[in-house]
């Protein structure tokens, strides 16, 4: 039986050569990840069958908004605390480790921009200093009145269990120690804007504009940020590679702009890509 070709064998020789040269010389690599990268860690994606936003009764446009939070802070917090515990119980998979490996190999020439709030990239060894958490993360909260910066979620919530409800003591823990306003999850909501202070949007734009290679993995393009950043990268001359088992706008952008799209799971493909880059860097 003939072994199926690896990802790298499926790249055109021109692309392998371009990427190899770019990376071995001084090129920068940006990886943009979405929920599909954590799917094989057992975390649900947002869209598609079984997705968080597709499940019955759950509408992104109502739940994941500041307007909902201010009307129903308890329900909003309970939803995020449940997601946080699910993420904490999950382990990083081969895709997360591959991204951390790319970062190790490339050092300052590497930036991860992740839409995921689950912190699995960080737990796989990816330094926070080389990643932009463009939608925030599960481990932080901040004053809803913006009087203080991001603080860790109090330890008590590490023992949060499915079906728990906030007690009065819990609500006190989720009250700003300075101004007595509500504390809110450190996540970007649909009725809010990307900024530099909380979501490092300028840093993300800069990284995309300076990339020689841009890899998008596990994102549907359901929110425009991934496509916007990938477009900045290709317009500045980067080679775009999309990794996803399903068709999506990033795949079409990559194919339109002479890049490459790989139909498959991030945990299969990113390790091969990371091995290729590591080799290119050490050659």
Footprint (CB under 6 A) of ligand OAD, residues 64-123: 64, 115
Task: Single out the catalytic residue among 96, 97, 121, 135.
Answer: 135
Minimum CB distance to ligand OAD smaller for 232 or for 243: 243
Q: What character string, x for contact with ligand OAD (CB under 6 A) and - otherwise, covers 196-225?
A: ---------------------xxxx-xx--
Helix spans in the chain (H)? 7-10, 13-24, 36-39, 60-63, 66-71, 73-89, 94-106, 120-123, 168-173, 196-199, 201-209, 225-235, 249-256, 266-282
Minimum CB distance to ligand OAD smaller for 3 or for 49: 49
Q: How far apart are CA 13 and CA 77, in angstroms?
A: 50
Smallest distance, ligand OAD to C-beta of residue 134, A: 8
Give me the phi and psi of 41, to 5 degrees please: -95, 5
Residues 6+ apart with CB under 8 A from 138: 80, 83, 84, 87, 88, 117, 118, 119, 153, 185, 187
Q: Can you tell me which of 27, 34, 101, 259 binds ligand OAD, judged by CB under 6 A?
A: 34
Binding flag, residue 60, ligand OAD (CB under 6 A):
yes
204 DSSP 8-state letter: H
Say how many Å lie between the first and final Cα of the chain, rounded: 32
156 DSSP 8-state letter: G
Q: What character string, x for contact with ligand OAD (CB under 6 A) and - otherwise, covers 131-170?
A: ----x-----------------------------------
Q: Can you tell me which of 7, 40, 249, 259 binds ligand OAD, judged by CB under 6 A?
A: 40
Smallest distance, ligand OAD to C-beta of residue 268, A: 8
The residues annotated with a catalytic role in the active site are 135
Residues that bind ligand OAD (CB under 6 A): 34-36, 39-40, 45-48, 51, 60, 64, 115, 135, 188, 217-220, 222-223, 243-246, 248, 265-266
């Amino acid at each position: 039986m003939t072994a199926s070709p690896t990802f790298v064998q499926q790249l055109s020789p021109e692309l392998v050569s371009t990427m190899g040269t770019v990376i071995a010389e001084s090129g920068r690599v940006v990886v943009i990840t979405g929920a599909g990268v954590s799917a094989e860690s057992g975390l649900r994606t947002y869209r598609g069958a079984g997705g968080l936003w597709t499940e019955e009764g759950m509408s992104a446009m109502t739940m994941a908004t500041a307007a909902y939070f201010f009307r129903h802070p308890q329900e909003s917090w309970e939803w995020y605390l449940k997601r946080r515990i699910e993420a904490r119980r999950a382990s990083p998979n081969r895709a997360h480790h591959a991204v951390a490996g790319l970062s190790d190999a490339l050092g300052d020439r590497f930036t991860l921009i992740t839409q995921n709030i689950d912190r699995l990239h960080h737990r796989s060894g990816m330094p926070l200093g080389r990643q932009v958490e463009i939608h925030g993360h599960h481990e932080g909260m901040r004053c809803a009145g913006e009087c203080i910066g991001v603080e860790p979620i109090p330890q008590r919530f590490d023992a949060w269990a499915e079906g728990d409800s906030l007690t009065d003591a819990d609500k006190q823990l989720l009250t700003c120690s300075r101004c007595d306003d509500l504390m809110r999850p450190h996540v970007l909501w649909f009725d809010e804007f990307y900024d530099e202070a909380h979501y490092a949007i300028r840093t993300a734009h800069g990284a995309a504009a300076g990339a020689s290679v841009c890899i998008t993995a596990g994102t549907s393009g359901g929110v425009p940020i991934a496509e916007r950043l990938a477009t900045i990268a290709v317009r500045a001359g980067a080679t775009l590679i999309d990794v996803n088992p399903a068709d999506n706008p990033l795949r079409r952008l990559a194919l339109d702009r002479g890049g490459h799209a790989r139909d498959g799971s991030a945990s299969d493909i990113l390790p091969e890509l990371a091995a290729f880059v590591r080799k290119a860097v050490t050659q």
